[in-house]
Structure 1
Amino acid sequence: MTFSRILGTGSYLPSKVLTNAMLAEQVETSDEWIVSRTGIRERRVAAPDQKTSDLALEAARAALDNAGVAAGEIDLIIVATTTPDMVFPSTACLLQEKLGVHGCPAFDVQAVCAGFMYGLVTADAYIRSGMAKKALVVGAEVLTRILDWDDRRTCVLFGDGAGAVVLGASDTPGIRHAKLAADGRYKDILNTPAQISGGKIQGIPYLFMDGPAVFKFAVKALADIATQTLAEAGVDKGEVDWLVPHQANLRIIESTAKHLKLPLERVIITLPEQGNTSAASIPLALDTAVRDGRIRRGQTVMLEGIGGGFAWGAVLLTF
């Protein structure tokens, strides 16, 4: 039987740092207000000439180098993003061209903050079926481009960045079990409801979030899907070495860890320095922990996250 394993990880953050103190000069807020409610202290902002595919390229190159895989060996490219370079072609096709790879399938996945997991599970299915041998999965966002900088409820939360993994076929399990879910009934509590029509933007082109409603839904949904994933995989909570959650809000992360009976010392948290980078947050956190030596080969890792849609999921893997 063929399985897929993570061969390498990579990430990229723009150089510009936007601190809470800097934000307080633009909008009515404070470092104490932001930290107490979210856990975020700073975030990165892409340069005006940087596009999502540019961030994705840097993360992809880092992952390929870490995996010891040449770009030409990749036979599937998936980019998870909510902020593509353009309406079409896909950011994945643009990334493919920048990597100098030609001919293999390349497409975007749009599941907002759960996008990386949707992409990872899709790539796993390709490899398990024999349709691909080495896949590049990237989560990349420039969310600061769709923020209303006068709305302190949302502009303090998000940042830009990209994270990537290279998946390869293996005789031993890497990705062990996964569960994905979505429920469009909750579309109105987190969205960016704009569209292009007749050459003009129709609707509001800024991110909207009903914070309390999102928090209430996310806490229960993440606890339930993490528990279901472990139960279906036949894995006890105590066997999980690391939780790599979507970096949305520290209180949501703490709630999920408590439900899984994991101390925060076994949870990868990059939120204070990066903010919520949507589809990029899980691969960014994963790469951080791999490179600093916390996550090591053979360990059991749980990825989980939730985003607009609502879409959410969990992936259990052996690193």
Structure 2
Amino acid sequence: MGVKITGVGSYIPQHVEKNESFMENTFLNTDGSKINYSTDVIIDKFKAITGIAERRYAKTHQTASDLGFLAAEKAIEDAGIDPETLDYIIVAHNFGDVRSDSVQSDILPSLASRIKHSLGIKNPSCVGYDILFGCPGWVEGVIQANAYIKSGIAKRCLVIGAETLSRVVDKYDRDSMIYSDGAGATIIEGTAEEGGILTHKTATFAADEAYYLFSGKSYAEPENDTRYIKMHGRKIYNFALTNVPLAMKECVDESGVSIDRIKKIFIHQANEKMDEAIVARFYKLYDKPMPDHIMPMSISKLGNSSVATIPTLYDLYLQGEIQQDNLNPGDVIIFASVGAGMNINAMVYKY
């Protein structure tokens, strides 16, 4: 028996926020002092490092669970299933539902329960729960669904990654330009066919790395207790370059698949330069150059929507909106992510 992704859907908000819209922002250092560069230079440097030219923000009346619901509807339709037959709804996020006029997180009830309600599912045996796992949350949700199905506990799961990070950023922090909103959803099912999820690897590094991503005060208003998403970017970069390629290699080696058979790598859209360096270092572990067009990217137009980046990227790729080549049955791909915790995971998948 194989465990496969049988339906994919995403919701990409329509509102486009270009880099130019940040020209009026005043960006500060961590101590509250003004950065000694003009805003246009800061934005140009930001674009050169991250690759981000624009990002998407949700409409003011929408929350993360709304985006997750819209993505879930598309995944259910794509799979051609009755939602009443779902055994689990697993929703990955980091901040719950945050209204456009607030930075307060709302996770009561869980986003999974909210999305189940919006889908109109009445079956009480369809269990919904949330996971907080940083940016790798969607991949981890798929790994959990795989375990449920292989153990016989479930036959069919809905795994969603949804986030509205634009609601939890400090406008005085230049890193605020990284974050965006979106949602991706997938149906995971057990099938009689071989393939699907071959191997996976997950790790949490928390001895020294736990607070590389954290909630912190505004650089402009340290006396205010309101918290925003903050990060130690250089530490994350170095951590990711060391640990993500190793997790990917461990998965590939365990799968028994030759590195030359990898068709695509769908990696968390965190930072264009960092993602390229991760994949290049992964191939270096095999003494091979990084192949051309191995890594579809969406970050230049969609920014970093955390748990939503991989499922939305995968959906856009399958729709032909990212690259023009196609996946064929039997092709092998890798999903990989890194994020708060610090958590990393990877999964080798046979299409």
Residue 291 of structure 2 corresponds to 263
The amino acid that maps onto 2:297 is I
Residue 13 of structure 1 corresponds to 12
Q: Say whether residues 1:273 and 2:296 are aligned partners.
A: no
Write the distance in 1 (CA, Å) between the matches of 2:47 and 2:214.
Answer: 24
Identical columns (%): 31
In structure 2, relative to structure 1, the CA distance for the partners of 1:23 and 1:264 (3 Å cut) is: farther
| 1:204 positional shift | 4.9
Residue 191 of structure 1 corresponds to 214
Q: Say whether residues 1:99 and 2:119 are aligned partners.
A: yes
TM-score (norm 2): 0.85
Residue 349 of structure 2 corresponds to 317
Deviation larger for 39-48 or 286-295: 286-295
The amino acid that maps onto 1:300 is V
Q: Is the 8 A contact 1:138 1:164 kept in 2?
A: yes
Residue 66 of structure 2 corresponds to 54
Write the distance in 2 (CA, Å) between the matches of 1:181 and 1:296.
Answer: 30
Matched residue of 1:84: which SS? coil
Write the distance in 1 (CA, Å) between the matches of 2:61 and 2:328.
Answer: 36
Q: Is the 8 A contact 1:35 1:41 kept in 2?
A: yes
Among 310, 315, 323, the residue aligned to 1:282: 310
Q: Is the 8 A contact 1:192 1:204 kept in 2?
A: no
Q: Which runs of 5+ in 2 are unaligned?
A: 28-38, 98-105, 218-223, 284-288
How many positions carry a matched residue from both structures? Answer: 310
Q: Which has the higher helix share?
A: 1
Q: Say whether residues 1:180 and 2:205 are aligned partners.
A: no
Write the distance in 2 (CA, Å) between the matches of 1:297 and 1:206.
Answer: 43
Write the distance in 1 (CA, Å) between the matches of 2:138 and 2:237.
Answer: 20
Write the distance in 1 (CA, Å) between the matches of 2:71 and 2:176.
Answer: 24
What are the Cα deviations for residues 191-222 of structure 1, in whole angstroms up to 9, with x where unaligned?
1259xxxxxxx955101111111101011111
Q: Is the 8 A contact 1:92 1:106 kept in 2?
A: yes
| 1:297 positional shift | 3.4
Among 229, 233, 236, the residue aligned to 1:214: 236
Q: Is the 8 A contact 1:180 1:312 kept in 2?
A: yes
The amino acid that maps onto 1:192 is S
Write the distance in 1 (CA, Å) between the matches of 2:336 and 2:292.
Answer: 15
Among 146, 166, 169, the residue aligned to 2:187: 166
Deviation larger for 133-142 or 180-189: 180-189
Write the distance in 2 (CA, Å) between the matches of 1:296 and 1:25.
Answer: 47
What are the Cα deviations for residues 243-284 of structure 1, in whole angstroms up to 9, with x where unaligned?
000000111111122122432412110010111110000101
Residue 329 of structure 2 corresponds to 297
TM-score (norm 1): 0.93
Matched residue of 1:119: which SS? helix
What are the Cα deviations for residues 20-69 of structure 1, in whole angstroms up to 9, with x where unaligned?
01122334533422211111111011122111110001111111111112
Residue 89 of structure 2 corresponds to 77
The amino acid that maps onto 1:11 is S
The amino acid that maps onto 1:167 is I
In structure 2, relative to structure 1, the CA distance for the partners of 1:18 and 1:264 (3 Å cut) is: farther
In structure 2, relative to structure 1, the CA distance for the partners of 1:27 and 1:106 (3 Å cut) is: same
Write the distance in 2 (CA, Å) between the matches of 1:204 and 1:231.
Answer: 45
Q: Is the 8 A contact 2:93 2:162 kept in 1?
A: yes
In structure 2, relative to structure 1, the CA distance for the partners of 1:212 and 1:93 (3 Å cut) is: same
Q: Is the 8 A contact 1:254 1:264 kept in 2?
A: no
Q: Is the 8 A contact 2:261 2:331 kept in 1?
A: no
Alignment of 1:130-149 (within 5 A): 130-149=152-171
Residue 156 of structure 1 corresponds to 177
| 1:299 positional shift | 1.5
Q: Is the 8 A contact 1:63 1:166 kept in 2?
A: yes
Write the distance in 2 (CA, Å) between the matches of 1:134 and 1:99.
Answer: 16
| 1:3 positional shift | 2.7
Residue 31 of structure 2 corresponds to none
In structure 2, relative to structure 1, the CA distance for the partners of 1:215 and 1:204 (3 Å cut) is: farther
Residue 77 of structure 2 corresponds to 65
Q: Which runs of 5+ in 1 are unaligned?
A: 195-201
In structure 2, relative to structure 1, the CA distance for the partners of 1:27 and 1:265 (3 Å cut) is: farther
